[in-house]
Structure 1
Amino acid sequence: MFNDQHFDVSPFRVSTLSITIATLLSVPFQTLAAEQEKHLDEVVVWGAKVSSSSEFITDEDISVRQADHLSDLLRDIPGVDVGGTHSVNQRINIRGLGETDLDIRLDGASQYANMFHHVGNLTLNPDIIQAVDVQVGANSVLNHGLGGSVMFETKSAKDLLRPGELYGARFFAGYGSNAFTQGSLSLYGQLTESLDALFYAYQIDRDNFKDGNGKETLGYDGTVDDMMLKLGWEPAANQRLQFTYDRYRDKGDYNPRPDMSTAANNGLTQDQLTPTHYDRDTFSARYHLNQGDVLDLSVTLYQNQIQLKRDESSLMPWPPNRQSVNTAENINTGTTILAVSSVNLGNTQHTFRYGGEGNIQDSKSQYGAQPKMKETFTAWALYLEDSIQITDAFTVTPGLRYDAVDRDALTGDKTFDDVNWALAADYDVTENLTLFASTRSLFKAPPLLETFVNFQDVTFLAEDIKPETGQNTQGGLRWNYHQGLSSYGSTLTVFKTQLDDYLADRYSDGKYIFFNNGDAEIEGFEASFYYGYDALMAKLSYAKADNKNTTNNTPIIASNGRSSDVGDSIGLALDYSLYDYDLYLGYRGQFVLEEDNVLPGTPVKDSYDVHNIYAQWAPQQIDGLVVTFGIDNLFDAAYVSHASRSGTARGLNTADLEPGRNIKISASYQF
């Protein structure tokens, strides 16, 4: 079934694009430039892979983008955007729903947090990511996000060791003209027949960048350090136990409001900066047992600690109770169990996916010497999904999920639970065309108040508050065709997400209140078309999502009072491989249309287009060397992502403008 596969079109893992498609679709072909294929396959083993449910051809190698922000990884996926420009403000957005409505995990560890409305909740280093699996929309009971899920996996020694190697090392250095330097060191090896290990250290040093108007920003100067230790043990051929410790540190003198423009910060607090530490420590232990069709078992235990510390003692004007060194900490401790078993029952084949998950979220904060605040949010779930192969062409997948939540908070103690269901079907009309449809009920309990604000003593749940529920329904088609050296692929997904008793919070008369703000809906589609001929690859995509609060007849409003809707997005990708020169060339263009679904009297979200080019060279003469060159924002556009902060606050323009033209160059040597 094509919907269960990911197609590898990395230009450095094949000699020609036509060979890639032919190999994956089991079509006879003639091998071309075999030595170049082998060389490039062995050299570029550092690249990350991004898989998305909204595209037919996925698993693209994106090492050429020299990513220093999550937007470099995810922004061109249909239906996905990433807001924020600051290192402490990376916010994933799927179909207009933000990160607190998504299931986001790093090596299986939940990244859920609601730290502070002026920063994001994700402290991730794109350089060490091995794979990202993005599920656009909530379609399966295995994940709990209202808008979908994003699963990040980091690299391991197993990923980096080339054939015949027992040990290896990689040195990397990179420079961006606007304005950063970065570098990393990786040491890895097969210590024994059953034991492998990886040590990784990374640093990026940022300066204040210039936006597309040529204006230098203020409050971006800082450093990010990331260190990871990973140990894998395989006591038998069908078992693996893996331990990971990931230590992330982001520090600098940053804007008090990193999601706002420099001008807005200067207007509110002059040019004052806040010494900031934004740190993460992730511990995870993962066990995998593969006994074939009988049982494929994965168990993850984790703890994810995120801490925000800011010295606000000198800020003026500023609330007197916050003129101190203030901290907030969010700790997720949990486990996930997933088992897969395949059996034949009568004339049908069943693939059962079953298990459960539990997470304890501890939210803590303290202003100076004031008493500490602590709240706890405990959630657990059980789920079962059965993929039933009724015929060779027709598969039906029903699923059930039970969620239970215990909210032990100063803002109100309550428990919530619900049974949710899902139903999906796939039908192979021909060997080239597959139709699919799915529907899934939704559930979200009232969350904890953001951790850093420490206003829990004046925050309340509405007496009649209910969990947010709803239904996500979508359907579409996947099509592929190949003839000679030409290959085609396309995907169309049409969706509607209904949200009942939409959860919101507001600050009024000196207190916060959580309440149900009526019903809402989001509807739209994602479409992508792929064409490959020999060494050429081209991809065109279009994503549209329109939201509406059907009770209030307004757009869905974000926490800053601005519409959360995003404009239609068109993506264009072109790649070409010059194998005789060990060279790969690429272009990415994004065209975002104006979004006028905003509150009356507020400005629209302006349209923009941005263009990136890159080239990667892996010379056969110097085994292990890779040189990458790129230009982001080629035409120096001044633009704001529709998932970023925009509009006004207290009469000041808050638009979080993206960096202007940025020339990137990096080199790595692996041996």
Structure 2
Amino acid sequence: MKAYGIFAAMTAGLLPVAALAQDQDDEVFLGTIVLEYPTVPGLGEETISVTSDGIALSNPADLSELFVAEPTIAVGSSIPMSQKVYVNGIEENNLAISIDGARQNNKIFHHNTTTLIDPALLKAVRIDPGVAPADAGPGALGGALAYETKDAADLLAPGDTFGGRYKFEYDSNGDVRSNSVSLYGTGGRVEYLGFLKYATGDLREDGDGETIVGSGTDVLSGLGKMAYQTATGSRFELSYERVTDDEARPYRANIGTIIGGRPVPATRPYELERTNVVFSYTKTAPTATWDPTIRLAYSGTELFNDESALSTMQTIRGETTSFSGEASNRFVLGWGTLNAGVDFYSDRASIDYTYLPNAAFDEEAREKLKNLGVFAQMRTNPTEMSKLSFGLRADFQEFTGVDGSKQSEAGLSANISGEVSITDRFSLSGGYSHIWGGLELAENYIMNPAWTYPEDGLEETTADNIYVAASYDVGNWAVDGKVFATQIDNARAAGYGGGPGLTTDVETRGFELGLGTGWDGGFFRAGFARVDTEVDGRNADSYTGNYLTMPMGDFLTFQTAHRLGNGILVGGDAQVAFDYDDTYDPATGGQGPELPGYTVVNAFAEYSPGKIGDLTLRAEINNLFDESYASRATYGQEFDTVVPLREPGRSVRLSAEIVF
């Protein structure tokens, strides 16, 4: 694969359910989705190979654009700091989330995002929907979601020891401007990278020309990495990543307006900071018996609402942190590979509330959770036409409540998946996992220092996942499909007044179809998905489904790109959400209102003039037909008392990047 646009390129699977494992010799078809930027083999190349492997160019500004071509992945909210990702209908906090291998514990406030991340930092995103391997980490109730940031080696051209790049981007909707700079290189056995980006902008408008409340831009993100490699191939790496969002947002950051209810200001300050620090040891020249991964990591997210100048006259600070680690080794055996090891985490969640007029109403509360895990995952090829993966993990937990009470639990998780090629064009696959999630921390903003925990302790959360898939190649076309289901039992749903022991059962099920083809210089793919969601045995609603699921429905996606002979790359995508009426009305206990469908089309052109060095120019028209809509995964669309956050209307985005 040749590089183009110097990291403006993002690769994705040709089909939404195609397995694109990072190491296909070791991985089995899990329905894995991998999005990644290509490694640069040389600078200044003017062509890109867009083949049936499915390379899609993208320039994602937020998570909704990052996953735009995946019909089973939905992103709610039009404001990045309140966006949430749903995989097969399951909210991301029920997945094993990691950034560069570091566990993320970000369940602070149900009105804001759970993992604020700048896509400009990313090299790859890997999603194991539903069935995930045991070495993906603990708590993979609905699968796993792993973000990986860029390394200097991804950016340097062969033979170079130093490089950099500068990028400017402008979006007409909101007058959003962003500047980013990267410097990277190697010296002796040391490798380093530094990245900094700052984006600012005004309020944006929806497709009707109405201002989207709290939609201004004020984001600062950065990444620093340093690695040292010994003569024997031992690699030590330290990375520091941080992103902040500091702007006035809707008072409830994922909702436009609440009609009625207690009076609150239209907006309030939200200062959100997320930090990720990772130290790791690996071998660049492993042997069959020594291929270790040793990692220590710290991740933390802090949210601060300073309402001292508002009528509410309060300040609220929530913080979640996770100290985690892993020590594992990959053994190459005669009949496959075995990855085995231990991992741990120590998570904390806290809330500090100050009511400025009367200190008697001040509150603070904290919960803690520790976990020690032992895991093994076997990957093998029983025959030339088949693959098999199976794994087991045991987790041991200790929970500490806001009152200092303690609870210890332990449980087992198991998974198995396999693929068999019936012919060289037709294959079948399937998988199943039972996950013990154990105990969970409550959301920070609803923790109550007066909670009394159940005498027999909090209930343990478990999940079962299953899928069956098939793939068939017809000439230059590929067709595949998958059916899937996830059942989560006793998911913690604590409430400030309801108590710490409330639980909810969640079920999602659906199917996915994909069709795609590639040609010399281009590709086309289409995907259709139906995702049905339930909470406690009835249709899901977004209130009860906080941190769990949302009403979803039917989605259709298209994506295409083609390299013209003059070096210009053109392409686009379309997303269609169909009308959906399987909703729930808590007021009546019956069916809720129909959620309206929408169609959104985006187009782009990218050009790298060979006579101007390593310069890449890009122009996009997003929401080409100025559709006025709220993303299906956005909170509150089924409630008459909620005005949901709408998505931005038509915008023109221009960018220029130069490599030096």
TM-score where L is the length of structure 2: 0.86
Using a 3 Å threshold, how does the CA distance of structure 1 residues 268 and 221 change in structure 2: closer, same or farther? farther
Indicate the SS of the match to 1:529. strand
User: Which of 613, 619, 628 is the matching residue for 1:638?
Assistant: 628
- Give, as a single letter, the amino acid of the residue that structure 2 aligns with 1:275: P
Deviation at 1:549, TM superposition (A): 4.3
The residue number in structure 1 matching 2:467 is: 474
**Per-residue Cα deviation, 1:207-243 (whole angstroms, up to 9, x for no partner):** 1110112101222224101122111211136332211
Give the distance between the partners of 2:631 and 2:87, measured in 1 at CA. Answer: 13
- Tell me, yes or no, if structure 1 residue 220 matches structure 2 residue 192: no
CA contact (8 A) 2:128 2:144 kept: yes
The residue number in structure 1 matching 2:637 is: 647
User: Which of 244, 248, 252 is the matching residue for 2:247?
Assistant: 252
- Tell me, yes or no, if structure 1 residue 295 matches structure 2 residue 268: no
Where do 1:577-616 residues align within 5 Å?
577-578=563-564, 580-599=565-584, 600-616=590-606
Give the distance between the partners of 2:226 and 2:623, measured in 1 at CA. Answer: 39
Indicate the SS of the match to 1:88. helix
Give the distance between the partners of 1:87 and 1:520, measured in 2 at CA. Answer: 26
The residue number in structure 1 matching 2:493 is: 504
Where do 1:556-571 residues align within 5 Å?
558-559=544-545, 564-571=550-557
Length, aligned pairs only = 614
The residue number in structure 2 matching 1:27 is: none
- Tell me, yes or no, if structure 1 residue 264 matches structure 2 residue 258: yes
- Unaligned runs of at least 5 residues, structure 1: 1-38, 317-321
User: Which of 66, 73, 82 is the matching residue for 1:80?
Assistant: 73
Indicate the SS of the match to 2:644. coil
The residue number in structure 1 matching 2:357 is: none
**Per-residue Cα deviation, 1:622-670 (whole angstroms, up to 9, x for no partner):** 2210001111111111112221112376x63331211111111100000
Deviation at 1:606, TM superposition (A): 1.8
Give the distance between the partners of 1:328 and 1:295, measured in 2 at CA. Answer: 42
- Give, as a single letter, the amino acid of the residue that structure 2 aligns with 1:256: Y
User: Which of 74, 81, 84 is the matching residue for 1:91?
Assistant: 84
- Tell me, yes or no, if structure 1 residue 574 matches structure 2 residue 531: no
The residue number in structure 2 matching 1:627 is: 617
Using a 3 Å threshold, how does the CA distance of structure 1 residues 68 and 561 change in structure 2: closer, same or farther? closer
CA contact (8 A) 2:251 2:265 kept: no
Using a 3 Å threshold, how does the CA distance of structure 1 residues 255 and 548 change in structure 2: closer, same or farther? closer
Indicate the SS of the match to 1:213. coil
- Tell me, yes or no, if structure 1 residue 41 matches structure 2 residue 3: yes
User: Which of 56, 70, 75 is the matching residue for 2:18?
Assistant: 56
Using a 3 Å threshold, how does the CA distance of structure 1 residues 304 and 561 change in structure 2: closer, same or farther? closer
The residue number in structure 2 matching 1:132 is: 125
User: Which of 511, 534, 555 is the matching residue for 1:525?
Assistant: 511
Give the distance between the partners of 1:42 and 1:562, measured in 2 at CA. Answer: 39
Where do 1:342-421 residues align within 5 Å?
342-344=332-334, 349-368=335-354, 370=362, 372-410=364-402, 413-421=406-414
Using a 3 Å threshold, how does the CA distance of structure 1 residues 285 and 645 change in structure 2: closer, same or farther? same
RMSD (Å) for aligned C-alpha atoms: 2.8
Using a 3 Å threshold, how does the CA distance of structure 1 residues 194 and 47 change in structure 2: closer, same or farther? farther
CA contact (8 A) 2:165 2:657 kept: yes
Deviation at 1:589, TM superposition (A): 0.6
- Give, as a single letter, the amino acid of the residue that structure 2 aligns with 1:585: V
Q: Which moved more, 1:389-398 or 1:369-378?
A: 369-378
- Tell me, yes or no, if structure 1 residue 71 matches structure 2 residue 64: yes
Give the distance between the partners of 2:264 and 2:55, measured in 1 at CA. Answer: 40
The residue number in structure 2 matching 1:323 is: 313
**Per-residue Cα deviation, 1:553-596 (whole angstroms, up to 9, x for no partner):** 77796346997230111111121110x21111111011112222
Indicate the SS of the match to 1:41. coil
- Give, as a single letter, the amino acid of the residue that structure 2 aligns with 1:71: S
The residue number in structure 2 matching 1:179 is: 174
The residue number in structure 2 matching 1:457 is: 450
Using a 3 Å threshold, how does the CA distance of structure 1 residues 562 and 403 change in structure 2: closer, same or farther? closer
Indicate the SS of the match to 1:71. helix
Deviation at 1:61, TM superposition (A): 8.9
Give the distance between the partners of 1:246 and 1:168, measured in 2 at CA. Answer: 20
- Tell me, yes or no, if structure 1 residue 160 matches structure 2 residue 122: no
Give the distance between the partners of 2:491 and 2:641, measured in 1 at CA. Answer: 29
Using a 3 Å threshold, how does the CA distance of structure 1 residues 141 and 87 change in structure 2: closer, same or farther? same
CA contact (8 A) 1:53 1:135 kept: no
**Per-residue Cα deviation, 1:347-369 (whole angstroms, up to 9, x for no partner):** xx121121222111111221239
Indicate the SS of the match to 2:593. coil
Deviation at 1:123, TM superposition (A): 1.6
**Per-residue Cα deviation, 1:372-422 (whole angstroms, up to 9, x for no partner):** 432211122111121232221223322111122211111763222211211
The residue number in structure 2 matching 1:447 is: 440
- Give, as a single letter, the amino acid of the residue that structure 2 aligns with 1:667: A
CA contact (8 A) 1:562 1:647 kept: no
Give the distance between the partners of 2:532 and 2:14, measured in 1 at CA. Answer: 21
- Tell me, yes or no, if structure 1 residue 117 matches structure 2 residue 110: yes
Give the distance between the partners of 2:156 and 2:343, measured in 1 at CA. Answer: 32
The residue number in structure 2 matching 1:276 is: 270
- Give, as a single letter, the amino acid of the residue that structure 2 aligns with 1:121: T
Give the distance between the partners of 2:455 and 2:632, measured in 1 at CA. Answer: 31
CA contact (8 A) 1:555 1:597 kept: no
Indicate the SS of the match to 1:524. strand
More helix by share: 1
Deviation at 1:64, TM superposition (A): 4.7
Indicate the SS of the match to 1:581. coil
Give the distance between the partners of 1:417 and 1:546, measured in 2 at CA. Answer: 31
- Give, as a single letter, the amino acid of the residue that structure 2 aligns with 1:120: T
Deviation at 1:456, TM superposition (A): 3.6
The residue number in structure 1 matching 2:36 is: none
CA contact (8 A) 1:184 1:200 kept: no
- Give, as a single letter, the amino acid of the residue that structure 1 aligns with 2:330: V
Using a 3 Å threshold, how does the CA distance of structure 1 residues 260 and 293 change in structure 2: closer, same or farther? same
Give the distance between the partners of 1:550 and 1:373, measured in 2 at CA. Answer: 29
Identity, % of aligned pairs?
21
Give the distance between the partners of 1:432 and 1:386, measured in 2 at CA. Answer: 26
Give the distance between the partners of 2:263 and 2:309, measured in 1 at CA. Answer: 11
Deviation at 1:464, TM superposition (A): 6.6
The residue number in structure 1 matching 2:28 is: none
The residue number in structure 1 matching 2:478 is: 489
Deviation at 1:493, TM superposition (A): 1.6
Indicate the SS of the match to 2:471. strand
- Tell me, yes or no, if structure 1 residue 428 matches structure 2 residue 421: yes
Give the distance between the partners of 1:625 and 1:665, measured in 2 at CA. Answer: 14
CA contact (8 A) 2:302 2:320 kept: yes
The residue number in structure 2 matching 1:658 is: 647
The residue number in structure 2 matching 1:285 is: 279
CA contact (8 A) 2:106 2:300 kept: no
- Tell me, yes or no, if structure 1 residue 200 matches structure 2 residue 167: no
Using a 3 Å threshold, how does the CA distance of structure 1 residues 178 and 338 change in structure 2: closer, same or farther? farther
By relative contact order (CA 8 Å, sep 6+), the higher-ranking structure is: 2
- Give, as a single letter, the amino acid of the residue that structure 2 aligns with 1:398: F
- Give, as a single letter, the amino acid of the residue that structure 2 aligns with 1:137: G
**Per-residue Cα deviation, 1:461-489 (whole angstroms, up to 9, x for no partner):** 5857421223211121233455xxxx333
CA contact (8 A) 1:618 1:627 kept: yes
Using a 3 Å threshold, how does the CA distance of structure 1 residues 467 and 497 change in structure 2: closer, same or farther? same
- Give, as a single letter, the amino acid of the residue that structure 1 aligns with 2:389: T
The residue number in structure 1 matching 2:534 is: 548
CA contact (8 A) 1:490 1:530 kept: yes
Give the distance between the partners of 2:244 and 2:109, measured in 1 at CA. Answer: 17
TM-score where L is the length of structure 1: 0.85
Give the distance between the partners of 1:441 and 1:463, measured in 2 at CA. Answer: 24
Give the distance between the partners of 1:249 and 1:556, measured in 2 at CA. Answer: 27
